[in-house]
C-alpha cells in the first residue's frame, strides 16, 4: 500500500513540474490556486481510471486459464470494460448536471473501488462458470464506476478551464497516459509479492483514498456562464452537428489504432527475440511519446493552429506509423526493429494530435451552433467523447486478432490504414466546406447586446473563441439575420 501511494504521489508531482512550463507558454493566463487544486484532483481521477483499465493485463489471463477459462472468454472480460463505457457514457453525460458532477465523480470512484476489491476475492472462486460470470459482473461494474468518474472529470475540465480547454485536457491526458503505462508494472509487481488478491485490494484502497482526497480538494463546481435563450442541449441534437460527428469518428479511429497494437504487436515483435524487459519497453514507446506530446499539442491548439488541421495531421501520423511498423504490404521493405521503434514514436505523436483537438473542436462547434455554454453541454460532449473512445478500444483488438490469424500482421495493417485514410479525406472535405455561421459572438458569450458585451471585463469563451483561432476554424463571426435586420 505504501509503495503504491508513494508511486502515485511521485507521478503527480513530476507531472506538475513537467507541464507547468507548457501551461505558461504564450498568453495563457496563470491558473488560480482553486484551478490548480481542481487540476490535481481531476488528474488523480484520470490516473486512477487508467490503472483500472490496465492493472490486470500481466496476470489475469494466466489465472483465468488455471480456472479453466479460454482465451476467448477472458478476452471478452477485458472487452466488457470498454463496451460498458461505450454504452453508458452518453447516458451519464446527459444526466451529469441532474446528478451533480461532484456526486457522479465521487460515487463513481467508490463503485470502482468496491468492484476492484471484490475482483481480487475471485481468487477464492474455483468453479470455472462462476469465476467467469463474476469476472464479467465485477469488470462491468468497475467500468461503470470508472466511466462515471471520467465523464464527470471531462465536464469539470470544460467548466473550470474555459479559456484553456485544450491545454488543460492535454495535461490531464498525461495523467491518464502515465497511469496506463505504469498500471501493468504495478499490477505485475504486486502480483509477484502477494498473489492475485493484492493488486486489486491495493488498487481499490487507492481509489477510496483518491475519492476522499477529491471530496476535500475539489472546489464546488457550478457553471458560471449565462445561457439566455439558447437551445437546451441533448445528445441527438449535438450529434447532428457535422463537426461533432466527425470528431467522434476520429476518436473511434484513435482508440482503434491503440487496441490494434495492444492485441497483436507482441506476436509481431517475437521475431526479434526481445527480452521481457525490452518487450515491455516497446509498449511504453507510444504511450510515453503521447504523454510528452499531448500538452504541447494542447497549447498549439489553444493558441496557434486550428484543431481541424491538427486532427488531419494526426490521421496522417497514424497511417505512417502503421505503415512502418508492419511494414505495410505495399512498401518494398522488410520488417526491422528500428522501423518499429520509429513507427511507435510517430504513433504517439498521432495520438496526441487526435485526442486533444477533437474534444476542443466539439465544444467550439456545439457552442457556435447555439447550444448553451454550460455543464449540461459539457457533460453530453464528455459522454460522446468517452463513448467513442471505448467503442474504438473494443473494435481495435477484436478486429486485430481476427485479421492477424487470417492474414498476418503486414496485411492486417491495411485495416487501420484504410480507416485513417478515410478519416483524413473526410477532414479535408469538411475543412473545404464553407459552413455559414449565424450565431453572434455576443450571443456565444451570453450577452443580449453589443454594449453589454463591451462593458464586460471577462468572458468565458474569450480565448476559446478568440478572433484569430475562431476565424481559422469557422470564418468571420456574423450577427443573426434578425439582428441585422
Residue 93 CA, distance from chain mean position:
15
Shared domain for 163 and 98, answered yes or no, is yes
CB 365, CB 384: distance < 8 Å: no
Q: Is 121 inside a domain boundary?
A: yes
- CATH code for position 163: 1.20.1250.20
CB 354 within 8 A of CB 372: no
- Residues 247 and 395 placed together within one structural domain of the fold: yes
> Any residues with CB less than 8 A from the CB of 90 and at least 6 apart, and which?
235, 380, 383, 384, 387
Number of structural domains found in the chain: 2
Please tell me the predicted confidence (pLDDT) of residue 316. 95
Q: What is the pLDDT along the chain (485 residues), one digit of tens a residue?
A: 333 333 333 343 443 444 444 344 444 446 677 778 888 888 888 888 888 877 887 778 778 888 888 767 777 787 788 888 888 888 887 787 788 888 888 899 999 999 999 999 998 998 999 999 999 999 999 999 998 988 888 778 777 777 776 677 777 777 887 887 777 778 888 888 888 899 899 999 989 988 888 887 776 655 544 444 555 567 788 888 888 889 999 999 998 998 888 777 878 888 888 876 677 778 778 878 888 888 888 778 777 777 788 899 999 999 999 999 989 999 888 889 999 999 999 999 999 889 888 888 888 888 888 887 777 777 788 788 888 888 898 888 878 878 888 888 899 999 999 999 999 999 888 877 644 333 333 433 343 434 443 343 333 333 344 333 444 444 433 333 333 23
Provide the greatest CA pair distance for the chain: 76
What was the pLDDT predicted at 219?
67
Look at residue 27 and tell me if it is in a domain.
Answer: no
At 96 the pLDDT is: 79
Question: Of the residues 168, 190, 219, which one is the last residue of a structural domain?
Answer: 219
Q: Are 225 and 336 in contact (CB under 8 A)?
A: no
Cell of 374: 454550460
Residue with cell 444526466: 95
At 118 the pLDDT is 94
Handedness of CA 78, 398, 317, 285 (dihedral sign): positive
**Predicted local confidence at residue 307, as pLDDT:** 79
pLDDT given for residue 140 in this prediction: 92
Question: Secondary structure of the chain: what % helix, strand, coil (to 5)?
Answer: 80, 0, 20
Residue 154 lies in a domain: yes
Give dist(CA 484, CA 25) in Å, integer. Answer: 39
pTM of this prediction?
0.70
Question: 238 with 288, same domain?
Answer: yes
CA distance 86 to 456: 41
Residues 364 and 239 occupy one common structural domain: yes
Domain co-membership, 298 together with 399: yes
Residue 123 counted as domain residue: yes
Q: With beta carbons less than 8 A apart as the criterion, state whether 393 and 259 touch.
A: yes
DSSP state of 32: P
Q: What is the pLDDT of residue 222?
A: 56
- Can you give the residue range of the structural domain that contains 101? 1-6+32-219
What's the pLDDT score for residue 410? 92
Where does a domain end: 219, 239, 259?
A: 219
One domain, residues 153 and 266: no
Asked if residue 480 is part of any domain, the answer here is: no
CA-CA-CA-CA dihedral for 69, 70, 75, 77, to nearest 10: -20
* Non-local CB neighbours of 137 within 8 Å, separated by 6+ positions: none
Q: Are residues 112 and 52 in contact, defined by beta-carbon separation less than 8 angstroms?
A: yes
**274 and 197 assigned to the same domain:** no
Choose one of 219, 248, 282: the last residue of a domain: 219
Q: What is the pLDDT of residue 370?
A: 80
Residue 69 CB partners (closer than 8 Å, separation 6+): 128, 131, 132
Angstrom distance (rounded) from CA 415 to CA 424: 14
- Return the ∠ at Cα 175 (arms to 219 and 419), rounded to 5°: 120
Q: What is the pLDDT of residue 13?
A: 43
**Do 314 and 428 belong to one domain?**
yes
Give buried/exposed letters for 4-43 (b at 16+ CB in 10 A, else e): beeebeebbeebbeebeebbeeeebeebeeebebbbbbbb
Tell me, yes or no, whether 280 lies in a domain. yes
Amino acid at each position: 500500500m505504501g509503495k503504491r501511494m508513494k508511486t502515485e504521489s511521485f507521478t503527480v508531482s513530476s507531472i506538475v513540474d513537467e507541464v507547468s512550463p507548457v501551461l505558461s507558454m504564450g498568453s495563457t493566463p496563470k491558473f488560480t490556486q482553486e484551478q490548480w487544486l481542481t487540476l490535481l484532483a481531476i488528474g488523480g481521477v484520470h490516473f486512477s481510471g487508467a490503472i483500472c483499465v490496465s492493472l490486470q493485463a500481466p496476470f489475469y489471463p494466466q489465472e483465468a486459464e488455471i480456472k479453466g477459462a479460454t482465451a476467448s472468454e477472458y478476452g471478452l472480460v477485458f472487452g466488457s470494460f470498454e463496451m460498458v463505457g461505450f454504452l453508458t457514457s452518453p447516458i451519464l453525460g446527459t444526466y451529469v448536471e441532474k446528478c451533480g458532477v461532484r456526486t457522479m465523480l465521487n460515487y463513481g470512484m467508490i463503485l470502482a473501488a468496491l468492484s476492484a476489491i471484490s475482483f481480487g476475492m475471485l481468487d477464492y472462486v474455483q468453479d470455472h462458470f462462476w469465476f467467469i460470470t463474476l469476472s464479467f459482473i465485477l469488470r462491468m461494474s468497475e467500468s461503470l464506476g470508472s466511466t462515471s468518474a471520467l465523464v464527470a472529470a471531462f465536464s469539470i475540465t470544460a467548466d473550470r478551464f474555459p479559456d484553456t480547454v485544450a491545454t488543460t485536457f492535454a495535461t490531464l491526458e498525461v495523467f491518464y497516459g502515465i497511469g496506463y503505462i505504469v498500471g501493468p508494472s504495478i499490477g505485475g509487481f504486486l502480483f509477484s509479492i502477494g498473489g492475485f488478491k493484492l493488486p486489486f485490494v491495493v488498487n481499490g484502497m487507492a481509489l477510496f483514498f483518491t475519492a476522499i482526497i477529491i471530496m476535500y480538494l475539489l472546489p464546488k463546481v457550478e457553471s458560471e456562464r449565462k445561457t439566455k435563450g439558447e437551445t437546451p442541449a441533448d445528445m441527438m441534437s449535438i450529434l447532428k452537428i457535422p463537426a461533432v460527428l466527425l470528431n467522434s469518428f476520429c476518436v473511434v479511429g484513435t482508440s482503434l489504432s491503440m487496441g490494434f497494437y495492444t492485441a497483436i504487436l507482441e506476436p509481431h515483435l517475437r521475431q526479434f527475440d526481445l527480452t521481457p524487459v525490452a518487450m515491455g519497453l516497446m509498449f511504453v514507446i507510444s504511450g510515453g511519446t503521447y504523454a510528452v506530446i499531448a500538452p504541447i499539442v494542447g497549447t498549439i491548439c489553444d493558441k496557434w493552429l486550428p484543431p481541424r488541421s491538427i486532427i488531419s495531421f494526426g490521421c496522417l501520423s497514424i497511417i505512417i506509423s502503421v505503415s512502418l511498423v508492419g511494414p505495410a504490404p505495399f512498401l518494398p521493405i522488410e520488417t526491422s526493429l528500428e522501423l518499429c521503434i520509429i513507427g511507435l514514436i510517430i504513433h504517439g505523436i498521432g495520438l496526441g494530435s487526435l485526442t486533444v483537438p477533437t474534444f476542443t473542436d466539439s465544444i467550439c462547434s456545439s457552442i457556435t451552433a447555439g447550444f448553451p455554454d454550460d455543464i449540461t453541454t459539457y457533460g453530453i460532449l464528455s459522454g460522446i467523447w468517452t463513448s467513442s473512445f471505448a467503442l474504438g478500444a473494443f473494435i481495435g483488438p477484436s478486429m486485430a486478432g481476427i485479421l492477424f490469424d487470417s492474414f498476418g500482421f503486414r496485411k492486417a495493417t491495411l485495416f487501420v490504414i484504410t480507416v485513417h485514410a478515410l478519416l483524413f479525406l473526410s477532414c479535408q472535405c469538411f475543412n473545404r466546406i464553407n459552413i455559414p455561421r449565424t450565431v453572434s459572438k455576443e450571443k456565444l458569450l451570453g450577452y443580449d447586446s453589443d454594449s453589454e458585451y463591451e462593458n464586460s471585463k471577462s468572458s468565458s469563451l474569450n480565448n476559446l473563441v478568440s478572433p484569430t483561432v475562431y476565424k481559422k476554424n469557422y470564418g468571420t463571426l456574423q450577427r443573426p439575420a434578425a439582428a441585422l435586420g
